[in-house]
Structure 1
Amino acid sequence: MTVIVFIGVNVIGNPVEILVPPDADQAERLRVIAQLGLDKPLWVQYLSFLSGALHGDFGKSFVFSEPALQVILQRMPATLELAVCALLLAIVIGIPLGLYAGLKPDSIFAKAAMAGSILGFSLPSFWVGLLFIMVFAVQLGWLPSSGRGETRALLGIQWSFLTMDGLAHLVLPAFNLALFKVSLVMRLVRAGVREVLPQEYIKFARAKGLTERRVVFVHVLKNIMIPIVTVIGLEFGSTIAFSVVTESIFAWPGMGKLIIDSINMLDRPMIVAYLILIVFLFVTINLVVDLLYTVLDPRVRLESEG
């Protein structure tokens, strides 16, 4: 990935053309080029970057003149807050609706929910975000349309959800980001329920006289959780990595908006540091999901012991 980014940024443009004023003379241009280390061959720049990365130094941002990783970590809490809220909405809304649609597929409410999930898959997030702003911020005036609002410190980090103003600013972008996830979780849960209900162990559980609540929540839901946990874990990673559109529409000061600005300015250290951080995040999430398998499914523990 670092090789691709280094080559790609070098091919699509020269950051000096953006960073140096058009009226600057040749001496000023050469000074900036030498200061940024762009006067060296690309392979030398890449090896220098790798050497620094192994020591935790991803280089200085061309735009901010600060360590790239430090700038990204300053924006990370805003993106994490938005992604966690979107994921919680997907779980709280998607799992109950999918469970109901799977248990009572012929009911009008279940059919309406599944029809609504098609809209969640189909509607582009940028259009839905603009619609949310137009209706709830402009027409009704219920919620703010942009920014993060008032924040409060917790463990040395500023969070929006700790204040009422911050929560008001969080609602629209979180719902916009969660729309696709709700539809995905709902359809996944419904498919799992429809697949599990005819199984013999469900019939045996009912034959033993267990209550319907226990059958559903212990025998049905627990046995469909592995694919759901897998998808939710991957979607959490993708939400953090690709919340660019939502953050741009709602002017949310997170990593997504930062990476868009960095790409526009061809800020190579910032782009590479961001992508490496996202790769590390996905690897960590996959590890956590694999560990959750052993909690959810005893057969995984038995196979590992064997």
Structure 2
Amino acid sequence: MTAPGQDAPDGAWTLGSGMGQHLAGMSPDDVVAVTTSTARADLTEAVDGYTAQRQQQSATRAEHTSGQQALKNRLDLLQSVAGHACAFMGYNWTVPHSTWVVLPFDTQLGPVKRAGVVTPADNSGWLVLKAGGLWQIDAHATVQGYSIGVTFYWLNNILYTITNYNPIVPTYMLEVVDAHGNLLSPRRFDAVTGVSPNQQSTDAVNLPVSSYFSHTFVVEDMPPEDDPAAPQHWVYVRLSMKWEPVYSGTFNGAQCKAIGGTKLSSLTASRWSRDVAHNVVAPTVPDGGDLT
């Protein structure tokens, strides 16, 4: 309090370097804690809400509009193709930070041949490859999110706050594993964003960011699909992601959503090598005559 021209009453808090501790028996830290308790409690509640949201793997239905869905059973259209499968994420997912999670590409798009879409566990969606040879995987993923940071500072004995919004930094890992979970071939992709840090609103940073990359690899020959032992030789492909918040401030929070649907997500397998048909064995051949 202030008491112009007279001494303050006993026990009153007065402004100054001592901040009243000589009257109330409190340290400067105690005084700051008391005077900011309401603001801190409100902000903590808000941050807890952000934290709960980002740690909960909630899902909402994604857009499924694509003409390819009408061709799901048209295997005749893949007669000249060595192998193909395409999947997209059927839902939008909230993703926790600093944790690797498998993106669930769980919905088949179009016909498949010597490959397929499977969901082994935990809502994850993988591609399964059922023939050996040279394969290429094309991944398209889209995320949307931001980080928030609040800084407290004192100026002329008045408490001020500054709130900054920053982008997030996603990283993707494409993994090829065998039927026993052994890693055969990985590919990592570090995504970037062109958003400047320390923005003053979410509008500048909370925008969808799409990433695309591919991976080419070779797998061993496999038994025919109708062989009972074939599944023990199949190869699986999964796409995982982890993201980190860009914090700036005393109190922090962040959120990220992986967006599904046919427009903003896809995981596609294409087999480049072709099956050999009518193989001709010719250990000896006749003379062809003289070359001129």
* TM-score class normalised by the smaller sequence: under 0.3
User: Please, what TM-score do these two structures have when normalized by structure 1?
Assistant: 0.23
Higher helix share goes to which structure?
Answer: 1
Higher strand share goes to which structure?
Answer: 2
